[in-house]
Chain A
Amino acid sequence: MTELTKLTLSAARDGLHNRDFTAREITEQHVNAIEDAKELNTYIEVTTNQALQMADAADEMIKSGNAKSMTGIPIGIKDLYCTKGFHSCAASHILDGFKPEYESTVTSNLWNDGAVMLGKTNMDEFAMGSSNENSYYGPVKNPWRAGNSDKDTVPGGSSGGSAAAVAADISIATTGTDTGGSIRQPASFAGLVGLKPTYGRCSRFGMIAFASSLDQAGPLTKSVRDAAIMLESMAGYDEKDSTCINIPVPNYEAALTGDISGLKVGIPNEYRVDGMPGEIEKLWQQGIAWLKDAGAQIIDISLPHTKYALPTYYIVAPAECSSNLARYDGVKYGLRVTGDSLDDMYKNTRAAGFGDEVKRRILIGTYVLSAGYYDAYYLKAQRVRTLIANDFKAAYEKCDVILTPTAPSAAFELGDKISDPLAMYLNDVFTVPASLAGLPGVSVPAGLSAEGLPLGLQVLGQAFGEEQMLNVADVLEKAAAFNVKPTKWWGE
């Protein structure tokens, strides 16, 4: 039998629909591969029994002619999503033992379409991090290593487990969440496609909140087509999320026409940041050339407030997180470390339950919202956020999509930046602006660094312009013809 774990989502779908193999078979192969790849630490919990049950149900759907694109596709779910009766702890100690009595809307949508849950993937605690080193369950190892090095690299974050699982072929695709780049940056580090939709495209109901005004669900996949297929299943209006927008979900796959002639691609001057490696600049130029060759018109644009995006993000996101994480107090669920008084219980529980990065952001967030500092930090950041959104609005008067690098570097070594938060935050320099503006972005693997690590290019779209954005990403992907896989060093 062929190695079903190597299939893209679209190929697996076609194989399942053609009855070339069953959902049970493809699921079992993944379950075995997961067992073999334990040392990558991608999954926090493997839900084998559930996966097999769901696979059997998917096979029934296929037999009865009710198969959808996602039917029988084994996927990993980021631990940030609440999955009824299963581990849903945002990779945090403070949610120890928490199993929700409800299902997130996005996963419900996937299960309704017949997708199969392999397990819950590792992540940075509460989605805070860019290397997946901030997990209570330990760091995730990127299947990719530099050249002939035996040193581990990070898979990016916060959806690091989701990225590594797809890169290691132990999941056909995975769900991620993106607050400031948490899908796109790991996709770039792991040679994958990672899509963050427009804010409001996917419901946030049942997704454990980090920064509510920024959090969005999205897929990590092996191809642009896969991302289109999976997004269609995940997206949609949900009255349980007041920030979810009621716009019909298009057939994203049908948007992949390959025709981008005459399309205007904006190149923002401000994304040439200091210290960016030459190879990234080179790849970007290559990307521009590919799109030009495909008939696109290249337009220089300016996003003048780009340099304020990171500081703005690191005020807005911690502010929201400091409030969103207040509910983890030891009273209702998860970890409780008792004390002599209610205040002691709070202190003991939160001191033990949160990791360093989460504590750092709660402190920053509490500070910027405090009386006397609110105007100088939070309010100012909100104003700058509006200016950043206005930059994009003005740019989209001139162009249809924007092309940028996804991250300023390839995957770095495990432990390299963990003691330098600011260096870590710089990873998100190209992804954060679109997050602040609520715009969609997709990272496409476009080449390898000199060390042989994958590098991604990012296509940004207009609000609810995912179809056009995916079409450009698809053209880029075909031109790049990135078909390298990490050399397997783990397992048997």
Chain B
Amino acid sequence: MRNLYQGATGDWEVVIGLEIHAQVISESKLFSGASTKFGSEPNTQVSFVCSAQPGMLPVINEECVRQAVRTGLAMGCQINLRSVFDRKNYFYADLPQGYQISQFKDPIVGEGVVTVDLEDGSTKDIGVERLHLEQDAGKSMHDQHPSMTYVDLNRSGVALMEIVSKPDMRSAEEAGAYFKKIRSLVRYAGTCDGNMDQGSMRADVNVSVRRPGEPLGTRTETKNVNSIRYVMMVIESEIRRQVDVLEDGGTIDQETRLFEVATGTTRTMRSKEEAHDYRYFPDPDLLPLEFSQAFVDELAKEMPELSDAKKARFIKDLHISAYNAGVLVAEKESADYFEELLSATVEKSGKQVSELGTMVSNWVTGDLFGALKKLGKGITGSPVSIAHAAELLSLQVDGTISGRIAKEVFENMLESGKSPEVIVDEKGLKQVSDTGAIETMIDEILVANADKVEEYRGGKEKLYGFFVGQVMKQTGGKANPQVVNQLLRPKLDG
């Protein structure tokens, strides 16, 4: 079976759950008016509330509530019309209140299911347990002074959504696909920018192993893993470690672990005995958060089309392959680029959408993505504009250039940034479809290669390609292949 791991003493099954922390896109923090702007000078985005000055009180930012509801809707989750903010109490220098305002028993979003795409083309449903809103802490900087720790409170109080999965994943690949899917969903919904390198998204990874069919094993939690690749590395490493421990007759400690990028492994951060007792209780400064179904319905109405719906539409209306559709919708920006390019090409070429869907999707997922990968750029950093790309595809559609020439022109576009029409003009790359000229050329070639003609007619049909090649050689590849075929075959067979 695909999802079993072979140990020295037999098969093991891994059980994985993720807690994803996603920073809410909002102008101001969850309970104060301070700005959430990233990259500002330390302690410049701090209000009296988020620095926990005496007597200051939290007031909920309604936009953050809307964002949480939108995210819940995007994941197909139940929205709870009544939720409660609790205090999670612990001491740390970058936690000014001495507690984090979070949601414990009654989160704003309840259960749901997301479907993830796996590499073998299959899909899997992963359960979402809940989503709750909570405050981020500040940042401790231990490397600024030999004996002191500096604290930056810019992040203190920024709204986070914690999205908790059910323990439904059985491999690193599934966990990676799930993380990717959640990232895609929040980006589609416009509720989190998904920028992992800026800390906008990170995951706590829960892993346990068991013999197939047995009850759940003891899990470990690896904190603050900030890329999809690292999440997968954590899982692989934890499976190996846990299986080794268990096969050596040891037991797994329920503990919190840290991922070390340098070694690709995890190490103990704190044991169960050292675990905090957070003393959760409802925050008496905040009333329960209540809103109406109408509020939710209104947000649902304004929701943008999400990836699953978009994929289905691409397949049904644009007749493109499920594979291409899946690749395109994985990132909202790719899907947007594709759709804009498709309509620009329709306009430029005068052809129907259904005629162009496959071609345009092939070009985006093949030529363009290939080129971007080489350049190390994303779709938003593409050096080729929609207008130029549409021009290129239209030249191909109307027969002005062949597919092969199109690739050459595209290379040139990437280097020069010139429009494809200019490139085709300058280099004289227009396809030759003039039947008279091509016929004259074929006649000359047949005369010059009379011996090969004899061989062909004698049954050596493979030589057909030779004659086509000769025509292409003489036209610099510009002869319209269809025209060549139409003229060459009767003459040879004649």
Chain A positions near chain B (C-beta within 8 angstroms) = 81-82, 88, 90, 95, 98, 100-102, 104, 204-209, 211-213, 239-243, 319-320, 322-323, 325-327, 329, 331-333, 342-343, 346, 366, 369-371, 374, 378
Cβ A323 vs Cβ B96 within 8 A: no
Return the chain A residue nearest B279 by Cβ: A369
Known A-B contacts A326-B91, A329-B98; the reply to A90 vs B54 at CB < 8 A is yes
Known: A82-B54, A205-B55, A342-B149. Contact between A323 and B285, CB under 8 A? no
- Cβ–Cβ contact B87 & A323, under 8 A: yes
**Closest residue of B by beta carbon distance from A206:** B55
CB distance from A126 to the nearest CB of B (A): 10
9 contacts between A and B (CB under 8 A): A81-B55, A102-B55, A212-B285, A243-B284, A323-B98, A325-B98, A327-B98, A346-B91, A366-B279
User: 6 other contacts beyond A100-B54, A331-B96, with CB at 8 A cut-off?
Assistant: A95-B54, A213-B284, A242-B58, A323-B98, A326-B97, A333-B53
Flag whether B300 is at the interface (Cβ < 8 A): no
Secondary structure class of chain B's binding surface, majority of residues: loop
Any A CB within 8 A of the CB of B487: no
Q: Is the beta-carbon distance between B59 and A240 smaller than 8 angstroms?
A: yes
Residues of A within 8 A of B279 (CB): 322-323, 366, 369-371, 374
**Do A332 and B99 touch across chains, with their CB atoms under 8 A apart?**
no
Q: Which residue of A lies closest to B89 (CB)?
A: A323
Residues of B near A95 (CB, < 8 A) are 54
Shortest distance from the beta carbon of A342 to any chain B beta carbon, whole Å: 6
**Residues in A neighbouring B277, C-beta threshold 8 A:** 370-371
**Contact status A205-B284, CB under 8 Å:** no
Closest residue of chain A to B149 (Cβ to Cβ) is A342
In the complex with contacts A242-B286, A329-B98, A102-B281 CB distance below 8 A: no
Interface residues of B (CB under 8 A from A): 48, 51-60, 87, 89, 91-93, 96-99, 149, 151, 277, 279-281, 284-287
**Chain A residues positioned under 8 Å from B58 (CB to CB):** 242
Max count, chain A CB within 10 A of own CB: residue among B56, B96, B99, B151: B56
Chain A to chain B: the 9 pairs with minimum beta-carbon distance, closest first:
A326-B98, A369-B279, A212-B284, A213-B284, A327-B52, A206-B55, A208-B54, A82-B55, A208-B55
Tell me the nearest residue of chain B to A320, going by C-beta.
B284
State whether B98 touches A100 (Cβ < 8 A).
Answer: no
Q: How distant is B106 from chain A, measured CB to nearest CB, in Å?
A: 14
Whether the pair B287, A243 counts as a contact (CB closer than 8 A) is yes
For residue A137, give the distance in angstroms from its CB to the closest CB of chain B: 17
Decide if A242 touches B59 in the complex (CB within 8 Å): yes
Task: Name B54's contact: one of A88, A212, A329 (CB within 8 Å).
Answer: A88
Q: Are B55 and A104 in contact (CB under 8 A)?
A: yes
Residues from chain B with a CB closer than 8 A to the CB of A327 are: 52, 54, 96-98
On whether the beta carbons of A209 and B55 are closer than 8 Å, the reply is: yes
* Complex contacts, B91 vs chain A, CB 8 Å: 326, 329, 343, 346
Tell me whether B281 and A374 are in contact (CB under 8 A): yes
CB-CB < 8 A to B280: which residues of A?
369, 374
Q: Which chain A residues lie closer than 8 Å to B285 at the CB level? A: 209, 212, 242-243
Min CB gap B87→A, angstroms: 5
Smallest CB separation, B201 vs chain A (Å): 28
Closest chain A residue to B93, Cβ basis: A331
A457 and B57 CA atoms in complex are apart in Å by 34
A44 → chain B, closest Cβ, in Å? 15
